[in-house]
Structures are given as structure tokens and as C-alpha cells.
Amino acid sequence: MKFASGQRLDRVDFSDQKSGTFRPANKSLERVEKRVLAICHDLKTKSILGLYGPDAIYSAMIERGYHEVPSRRTITNIIKRYGLVERRICIRYPSPPPGWYWQDLIKKKEELDRFDIVEGLYLHGGQEIPLFNGISLHGSLLCSVAHRVITTEIVIDALMKHWREFGLPQCVQFDNDMVFQGTRKENAIGRVIRFCWSVGAIPIFTTPYRQGFQGKIERFNGEEQRKFWRRKYFKNIRQVRQHLEKEGLEHRLRQQPNRVTAPCRRKFPKNGKWDEKVLPKLTNVMII
């Protein structure tokens, strides 16, 4: 308005403006932006883990051997500019260290496996398929099993198979589901607890109605529902198991650095079979 000196803007002569371009000097090249958007769309539709953020796009461009790879901040600005960022308004507080309720877990002296059951997942025809999920605290070792009904026998078989492959943790943590606890009769101990005792793992049960103890497994359950069930349709349980197997392999590759720094896991007993009639050696049960 100072340049117009009180005149109408359509009568002001702006011919003395400096010549130049409106394109910023540090703006990304058009071919690079198109490549970032194409990779973002490809990861969003085909990625096994459902990751299509700046870190995933940057890793994909490195793996595919592109020479012009922008920084993660630049990739973030590109996908923001085209409206491909899921905006969430939330208040973030500093998170406590992993295993904050036990000093041995904080110092990475011991490893902990967390397990949970996910319900409310349905196939394309309407049949419910619950999942039995587990993940280790420090090494992020993944266990995910799909069955029509999650029973105590299925839980024990899944634990035995998982621990045979990856080793035995010092502790195993559950919520207060009756499948894990077993019967509530007097002087009775559930089968899952007795199995953990028999192989030498200390069972831990979280306090009801208290958040934070199962944070990592709950976060994984939420991500699996958003990036797994809401992106695909499954006609039968066989397709679900095939996808879970691919997801497990991809997850192990991405979490390889965590496995290197995680506490050592013990060998699973060689005898392999669990005899319910044999009473295990009594160890501590922790309720936090």
C-alpha cells in the first residue's frame, strides 16, 4: 500500500519490480517429488508392515539404489505439501524407560516377553478370528498366531514354538485374561503358569485397570489393526496366517539392531515336551 501511494491497485505501475522467479532456490526437483510420492503410494498399498512415513520412504529409496535421495526432513515436507500426512492432535509427555517398574529390565539385565489376545477382528464373510500376539521388551521379537478360538492349549503351543525358535526369556508378562490365569478355585494354579514354571520363566501379571504395563504390546496391537486388518480383506484363516508369516519376517529384519543390543536369551529345555502331571519347581510369581 505504501508503494501505491493511495492509488487504486489496478492503476499502479509495478513494472519496476525485480526480475526473477517465484520458485525458491532450495525447492526439490519435480522428478524427485514425483518419485517420493510414487514410493509413498507404493508402500501404503503394498508394504507388509504398512509403513509409509518419511523413514520408510527414505529407506526404500536407499534400498532401490536411487542417486537423488532427499533427507528425511525434505521427504516430510513433500508429503505434507501434498496432504499425505495423517494429522493427529495430542499432548505428548516424556515416556518412561522400557521396563520402568523393574530395575533389572531398565538396566537390560533381563529380557521380558509380553503377550496379549486381540479380539474383534473379522474375515470378509463375518467370522471372527482372534489373534494371540507377543513381543519382547528389548529385542522386539514378534509372535503372532491366528486361530478361530484362543484356548489354553493354543497359548501353550504358541509359547513353546516361539521359545524354541528364539530362546527363553527370564520373565513372561500377561494381562488378567482367564486363558492366562486359569481357574480361580482355591489352591489351583492355571496351566499357563505351570508351563512357565516348568521351563524356568517367571510369570508376571499386570495390575487390573492400570495402564502402561502392557504399553508395547498394546501399541503393536493397535498398529496391526490399522495397518493390517483395515488395508486388506481375507476370505479364510489360511490367508491370514500367510500374511502373518510375511509380517513376522519383515518385522525381524527391521528390528535386527534391537536384537543385537538386547539381553541374552536362554536355551529352551531339550526334552521339549511338557508333562502336566509332573509338578514344576516352585518359583516366584510377580504381580505388578
Can you tell me the mean pLDDT for 133-141?
92
CA distance 279 to 16: 94
Residue 271 belongs to a domain:
yes
Q: Is residue 18 part of a domain?
A: no
Assigned domain for 86 exists: yes
Q: How far apart are CA 61 and CA 178, in angstroms?
A: 46
Q: Report d(CA 134, CA 144) in Å as an integer.
A: 6
Looking at residue 160, its pLDDT comes to 92
**13: pLDDT strictly greater than 90:** no
Domain endpoint, select from 92, 113, 132: 92
| Closest-CA residue to 176 (of 168, 185, 164, 184) | 184
Chain-centroid distance of CA 205 in Å reads 21
Lowest pLDDT segment from 45-54, 144-153, 171-180, 207-216: 207-216
Both 146 and 244 in one domain: the answer is yes
* CA dihedral (16, 21, 22, 25) positive or negative: negative
Is 199 in contact with 269 (CB distance < 8 Å)? Answer: yes
Last residue of a domain, one of 42, 65, 92: 92
CA distance 107 to 276: 35
With contact defined as beta carbons under 8 Å apart, do 116 and 217 qualify?
Answer: yes
Domain end marker among 92, 127, 146: 92
236 shares a domain with 130: yes
Boundaries of domain holding 197: 103-287
Secondary structure percentages of the chain, helix, strand, coil, to 5 = 40, 10, 50
- CA-CA distance, 155 to 193, in Å (whole number)? 11
Residues 132 and 181 in one domain: yes
Read off the pTM: 0.68
pLDDT at 59: 93
Total domains present in the chain: 2
Strand-by-strand arrangement of the 286-287 sheet: 142-146, 131-136, 112-118, 171-174, 202-205, 286-287
What is the per-residue pLDDT across 57-106, written as a single tens digit (0 to 9) for each? 999 999 999 988 999 999 999 998 888 877 666 777 777 787 877 888 88
On whether both 188 and 278 belong to a single domain, the answer is yes
CATH number for the domain that contains residue 123: 3.30.420.10
Do 226 and 258 fall within a single domain? yes
What tens digit of pLDDT does each residue of 176-217 get? 888 988 877 777 788 898 899 888 888 988 887 777 788 889
Which segments of 66-206 are extended strands (E)?
A: 112-118, 131-136, 142-146, 171-174, 202-205
The C-alpha atoms of residue 122 and residue 129 are separated, in whole angstroms, by 6
